[in-house]
Structure 1
């Protein structure tokens, strides 16, 4: 097996190899696709321990480590396996040709039509550091299920995981089917500018814009899984204690480093103090300590830790109230308590940037209309959450907002559904994967029309030389019926 590529020239050569192999082989059978997916499943299962160790080392420092092995196994390995197995087990159903009705009267004359779902070719997949396996192998499941080949680009921010993925994929998979490119931002830029047949990127909105510009040079279709400031609307009918428990769970998951993690919580003004107290209590129940807590996930590196701390420092300098679930850390750990930033001004940095860490903005409100106006003032988020039992209010929030996905009376859960699309809209991305929609995302839907043996257009007066009444015939069909 060939080694992972590390240069722009290597990316181009591997991509050319994959595309030439695709052209030679054409559309492959369900059996071939299943076999390719099973190879990836086997790789993840056989090397799950080493992969979990690599992810923990990328996040970790100190005796408590930076990311629990169990979380890495649950989030990245089991999450990837679920996507791969779901695709493997539904392929035959998804691959069926889709018959379509032929326009009259050709349907009566024997005309037939169908839509084929054919692979596009070679798919480039750029993963991210916060879920370094899932953001590679979950879209890979859909790409392979659609019959494509793929080149993976792991995030350089998680270098040990990236190196191990490169080593394992190179050792166990045919690079003409699944290859790997590793390297820094320069390699990432060359990757994004390569003439793939489809490109997937998971990451920030700012980088997503660069990816889309690079892909546009080659007219490469893109799937962008970005982020944004995902809001939580807590209605007056919500169970405050239960909502705060679920919020604490979500903000503690992966140290808040999840693209669908809540960024802004809207609470009724009269419930503000009780929500603050409940959130602090619920977070402390989950994480009684911080620095030495093996269940907490650290910031991936010092740069990302200091980024979040700078957001908080800007808020403090503006006189904004900040409450913490625990006393501030005094050690060298990159783990942090949950910091609650209360009613910061709209121009504060934490209201402009995605947090992606252990902090949460809380905005008090008087009316739901004011909440919706505030949400509309920012780009479309990847996720939106509503807590409450008021069905009319729930419907108002759902119909008057737009986001990639929604969970009601919980958080994060919609992204775990394998038979429903996951993706963003506007500033939070475009396109989607998971399940059947992911299969379609990486397929070319190709219309095929089969003409009948008899062609009546001549005797209908539809062909040149046209008779005097031809225009009148056409005009007679211009109706509102």
Structure 2
């Protein structure tokens, strides 16, 4: 364990106690103060936009500045505006009806902040996937402790310094360090814990949190499928599939993980995807808009997956390009008909490699999807709205898009979350506000209430009221 890890673990309890005390002193942060917190997140994002792009590029080796702008900076500024616009309505009590035999009275639901929220963020979108749940927690009136990924140290250090500009550690704190710090972090008795990352680690997080009965939101991954209906043109699918798969070099939890296409369309779709990639990245090896793989371990793993599929008889299609040199870049790759038992088909890929397999109709494709774990996202391409809806009705996934990929993530009014092995719970927009608040049920009745009549000794009056 490093000295940094030891120091962070030692201060973790102190920070948590300080935040608990601060929350007890101000359990219901005002609307005005929450707006100020939200505005601070927005201002920090805009002020440090260039530094965010620099940090991402330094951590990945090569990270598209345009993609960082789009997926990290612009996403957050949009989320801030949405949260600011709707916060007042989210904070209001919601009235509910009461049965006639309990009248008179007033029933309603109060959204109350849970307390101290813990957030564990990943490396693939290191700024957005940290600041987005922070935004939701602050809107809810919570205090926040963040543990960012050790794989993106430049971004983690930047976020710590950014947040220190506007927030005292009793309000928002960042804990840096490796897996040992992360493990210790999961054992803190938070009032809510949100984890984004792999399914394997998600299970460990859930087990650790269960010791304290800490409620958890798990944003995990999985193999998000694409189902292409008969008659959908290859070129029409290729543009959005190429963008969705090769943005951030496929290091996206909702990136298309494999394609199920009609047998006569599998190769044309694969060729069209590679052709589109070559137009998007004329020389992927040197193109600054084509992102590198985040670490040597992930780079080696992806190359091994491609070679395993090749050895198993799969056909490999790759975009043409030069030598990336020392950059950890992998060419945009399509794998036609990889073996079912290959790692490409058994593990989440998380890289710029897209398997394509043949299906024998939508029922066959749905059966294939339903045989695996429930994915975080599902994409269906069809000119027939009824056919697309049949796929939606016949499958289960965290989210879905018809005739495109990944765009649902940017709709703040759509809850984002998984199901089954791809996670549970959701955030974004009002769903994020609800995640970090408790729905407190309240019934107010007058001092004298007819319920007093429903008491022993039971008789005719009881029968008349109870049998209404």
TM range (shorter): over 0.9
Asked if residue 300 in structure 1 is aligned to residue 294 in structure 2, the reply is yes
Which runs of structure 2 are paired with 1:299-378 in the superposition (5 Å)? 299-326=293-320, 329=323, 331-378=325-372
Q: 1:311 to 1:185 in 2, by over 3 A?
A: same
Q: Following the alignment from structure 1 to structure 2, what is the Cα–Cα distance between the partners of residues 137 and 352?
A: 31
For the 8 Å contact 1:37–1:145, the answer to whether it is kept is yes
Aligned to 2:39: 38
Q: 1:67 aligns with which of 41, 63, 69?
A: 63
3-state DSSP of counterpart to 1:449: strand
Aligned to 1:195: 189
Aligned to 1:212: 206
The two structures, once aligned, show a CA RMSD in angstroms of 2.1
Aligned to 2:274: 280
Q: 1:88 aligns with which of 61, 84, 94?
A: 84
For the 8 Å contact 2:226–2:258, the answer to whether it is kept is yes
Q: TM-score, normalised to structure 2's length?
A: 0.95
For the 8 Å contact 2:101–2:465, the answer to whether it is kept is no
- C-alpha distance after superposition, 1:391-421 (max 9, x if no partner): 2211110001111111111111000111211
3-state DSSP of counterpart to 1:199: strand
Q: Following the alignment from structure 1 to structure 2, what is the Cα–Cα distance between the partners of residues 370 and 6?
A: 55
Q: TM-score, normalised to structure 1's length?
A: 0.92
3-state DSSP of counterpart to 2:238: helix
Gaps (5+ residues) in structure 1?
A: 61-65
Q: 1:32 to 1:346 in 2, by over 3 A?
A: same
Q: Alignment length, in residue pairs?
A: 465
Gaps (5+ residues) in structure 2?
A: none
Aligned to 2:59: 58
Q: Following the alignment from structure 1 to structure 2, what is the Cα–Cα distance between the partners of residues 72 and 330?
A: 21
Aligned to 1:29: 30
Q: Following the alignment from structure 1 to structure 2, what is the Cα–Cα distance between the partners of residues 46 and 340?
A: 39
User: What is the deviation of 1:165?
Assistant: 1.2
Q: Following the alignment from structure 1 to structure 2, what is the Cα–Cα distance between the partners of residues 78 and 432?
A: 21
- C-alpha distance after superposition, 1:21-77 (max 9, x if no partner): 1111111111010111212222222222222111110011xxxxx012222122112
Q: Following the alignment from structure 1 to structure 2, what is the Cα–Cα distance between the partners of residues 44 and 316?
A: 44
Asked if residue 98 in structure 1 is aligned to residue 90 in structure 2, the reply is no
Q: Following the alignment from structure 1 to structure 2, what is the Cα–Cα distance between the partners of residues 143 and 5?
A: 27
For the 8 Å contact 1:239–1:388, the answer to whether it is kept is no
Q: Following the alignment from structure 1 to structure 2, what is the Cα–Cα distance between the partners of residues 82 and 15?
A: 30
Asked if residue 463 in structure 1 is aligned to residue 455 in structure 2, the reply is yes
For the 8 Å contact 2:230–2:361, the answer to whether it is kept is no
For the 8 Å contact 2:65–2:289, the answer to whether it is kept is no
Q: 1:112 to 1:266 in 2, by over 3 A?
A: same
Asked if residue 260 in structure 1 is aligned to residue 254 in structure 2, the reply is yes
User: What is the deviation of 1:317?
Assistant: 2.3
Q: 1:470 to 1:75 in 2, by over 3 A?
A: same
Q: 1:391 aligns with which of 375, 385, 388?
A: 385
3-state DSSP of counterpart to 2:125: coil
Aligned to 1:116: 110
3-state DSSP of counterpart to 1:262: coil
3-state DSSP of counterpart to 1:51: helix
Q: 1:74 to 1:476 in 2, by over 3 A?
A: closer
User: What is the deviation of 1:331?
Assistant: 2.9
Q: Following the alignment from structure 1 to structure 2, what is the Cα–Cα distance between the partners of residues 457 and 371?
A: 57
- C-alpha distance after superposition, 1:264-319 (max 9, x if no partner): 10110011221122112111111111211111000011111111111112212222
3-state DSSP of counterpart to 1:224: strand
Aligned to 1:168: 162
For the 8 Å contact 1:58–1:158, the answer to whether it is kept is yes
Aligned to 1:221: 215
